[in-house]
Chain A
């Protein structure tokens, strides 16, 4: 158990809908990272927050957004969902600001029908 928690574990929704994925980092970690893992694209970095501020951006679509709250938990919002957004979404955390060793949560499996 990495200490990173993600909810929900599974999510099934329809195209055009909006969902929110939640992540709680390990105690003491200030950085939160979001990743998308799909069969065709592999594992892709989406975005990083450090202590409430956006720190780095990867291949995140404009339909997606994230934030990190004062208690350091983070939410990833996915809107206008398309079939191709079906994937496993991971959250990871680390103590440092820059990319460093990260501890991954178990993931949220999103299925868009």
Chain B
């Protein structure tokens, strides 16, 4: 079975401070991992993906994520939060042609 756990349902950070959104996965396979962002009343947008190449993946808008096999984690980070980062973020695992979504983390940016 495959599962994705987003450890925080809600994260609040001040503008200009670092962002950390945590994701752990469980899979019998070596999964591909993705982070998607969903702004209010919008569809999901791909931020970045890991597909067994470099473990540190850079995405759009200054986000990056590091795949750590030993910790089965794929946490999303950004050095400095911007107001436009306020959104819902989904960690997604793809293994053996099965796509599993995390429950999402709502990121709030405090001015």
- Chain A interfacial positions (CB closer than 8 Å to B): 2, 4, 42-45, 56, 58, 90, 92, 98-107
List 19 other contacts, CB 8 Å, given A58-B99, A92-B43, A101-B34: A2-B45, A42-B101, A42-B103, A43-B44, A43-B101, A43-B104, A45-B99, A56-B97, A90-B44, A99-B99, A101-B46, A102-B44, A103-B46, A104-B43, A104-B44, A104-B45, A105-B43, A106-B41, A106-B42
Which of B42, B45, B90 is close to A43, meaning CB atoms less than 8 Å apart? B90
10 A-B pairs with CB atoms under 8 Å apart are A42-B101, A43-B90, A43-B104, A45-B101, A58-B99, A92-B43, A98-B97, A99-B94, A99-B99, A102-B44
Q: How far is the CB of A58 from chain B (nearest CB, A)?
A: 8
Counting residue pairs across A and B whose Cβ atoms lie within 8 Å, the total is 40
Q: How far is the CB of A109 from chain B (nearest CB, A)?
A: 8
B106 at the interface (CB under 8 A from A): no
Closest A residue, CB atoms, query B94: A99
Q: How many residues of B contact A (CB 8 A)?
A: 16
Closest B residue, CB atoms, query A2: B43
Main secondary structure of the interface of A (DSSP, over half): loop
A43 partner residues in chain B, CB cutoff 8 A: 44, 90, 101, 104
Q: How far is the CB of B102 from chain A (nearest CB, A)?
A: 8
- What per-residue 1/0 map shows which CB atoms of B75-87 lie under 8 Å from chain A? 0000000000000
B46 partner residues in chain A, CB cutoff 8 A: 101-103
How many angstroms from the CA of A92 to the CA of B46 in the assembled complex? 11
Q: How far is the CB of B3 from chain A (nearest CB, A)?
A: 12
Q: CB within 8 Å of A: which of B37-86?
A: 41-46, 49
